[in-house]
Homo-oligomer: A and B are copies of this chain.
Amino acid sequence: MSKVRESIARAALMYDGHFSVDELVQTLHERGVQDAHLATVYRALPLMVEAGLIQPALVSKHDGQRYEASFERDHHDHLVCTSCGRVVEYKSEALEALQREIARRYDYELDDHVHELRGRCKSCRNRAH
């Protein structure tokens, strides 16, 4: 692994959440370590995905692909309040079992999922009425 790629990898794994390609380049520049060219980053990222270091982030976003460190993607899902943004993380074995069953039905070998429930939490409902 070259030095440039090592810098890219180090920076990528440092993010708490997900990051865009531009943000990554920005970070590298600020850090002054390397002047990784945009094209180089674009070429490095798929390799890092291949190597299992990072993954495309499963956010329904519009601006461009985002990535996140592989270890970020632990098995929890989100229950998001559409009013106040509060997020509850939950985990349901029954749900995961069900997902596996659905994948089996269509003969897909599952390796990931996004599950996000959206609604309004109790306090927001009370506040509204």
Contacts and interface: CB of A to CB of B under 8 A. Distances in A.
Contact of A60 (B60, B95, B98, B103): B60
A22 interface: no
Interface in A82-129: 82, 88, 90, 92, 94-95, 98-99, 102-103, 105-122, 125
Q: How large is the interface on A (under 10, 10 to 19, 20 to 34, 35 or more residues)?
A: 35 or more
Copies of this protein chain in the complex: 2
Contacts of A59: 60
Contacts of A119: 103, 108-112
A53 B84 CA distance: 22
A36 interface: no
A54 B37 CA distance: 40
Contacts of A114: 60, 114-116, 118
A98 B92 contact: yes
Given A95-B98, A108-B119, A115-B115, 20 more contacts: A56-B60, A58-B60, A79-B106, A79-B108, A82-B111, A88-B106, A88-B108, A90-B106, A95-B99, A102-B117, A107-B122, A108-B121, A109-B119, A111-B118, A111-B119, A111-B120, A112-B119, A113-B115, A114-B114, A115-B116
3 tightest A-B contacts by CB?
A: A110-B119, A108-B119, A112-B118
